[in-house]
A = this chain, B = another copy of it.
């Protein structure tokens, strides 16, 4: 069985397996939720969209959101084709302590992006430059789901500014490595990229600004 409900481990180890192979019946529920979520998040934003409304629109029970996605953030991330449950990702990143956090973030993102050449994020960047809805989705993804949660958990000063700064560096890395494909960065190995950009992320998260 290639489709499994939300678990704290499997999405990280096998980020994309849900999409391959045969599609069991449960996948229909999951897909209906994703379709409803995309529309509802675009129309109402992250705060405005309720799990109940999304489930109603999909014609399924609201408990299915927790079952398949672990909650609203997970559903949002999945709707944006982010292949990792962000709550699990953040928990794992923070588990190593604040030291070396920047390095671990760069390595983790590259491990995802390098397999899909920046895929959905690139589509979102393109879309964000013409559609306010996409810009809003990207804003809320950075602040509500990803870096904002990280800086909140770190108990640092100016958490919102730090989250936005993380957003500049990681979106710019995606742009240059996968869209512009500027050498030597486009084909640099993970160690090189982490050594160069890890300290930047570390300072944005925990250093003096």
In this assembly, does A50 line the interface, its C-beta being within 8 Å of a C-beta of chain B?
Answer: no
Main secondary structure of the interface of A (DSSP, over half): helix
Interface residues of A in 163-194 (CB under 8 A from B): 164-165, 167-173, 175-177, 179-186, 188, 192
Which residue from chain B places its CB closest to the CB of A170 in the assembled complex?
B172
The count of identical subunits is 2
Do residues A143 and B173 form an inter-chain contact, with CB atoms below 8 A? no
CB within 8 Å of B: which of A117-147? 122-123, 125-126, 128-130, 135, 138-139, 142-143
Contacts of A125 in B (CB 8 A): 125, 129, 175, 179
State whether A130 and B126 are in contact (beta carbons under 8 Å apart), knowing that A161-B185, A161-B188, A200-B203 are contacts in the complex: yes
In the complex, whether A204 has a CB less than 8 A from a CB of chain B is yes
Q: Does A3 contact B (CB under 8 A)?
A: no
On chain B, the residues within 8 Å of A160 by CB distance are 183-184
Q: Interface residues of A, CB < 8 Å — how many?
A: 44
Task: Please state if B181 and A176 are interface contacts (CB–CB under 8 Å).
Answer: no
**Residues of chain B within 8 A of A183, CB atoms compared:** 160, 164
Cα A143 to Cα B182 with chains together (Å)? 8
A199 lies within 8 A of chain B by Cβ: yes
Q: Contacts A172-B172, A172-B175 given: A167-B196 contact, CB under 8 Å?
A: no
User: CB of A79 within 8 A of chain B?
Assistant: no
Whether the Cβ atoms of B209 and A195 lie closer than 8 Å is yes
Residues of B within 8 A of A177 (CB): 168
The interface of chain A, by Cβ under 8 A from chain B, is 122-123, 125-126, 128-130, 135, 138-139, 142-143, 160-161, 164-165, 167-173, 175-177, 179-186, 188, 192, 195-197, 199-200, 203-204, 209
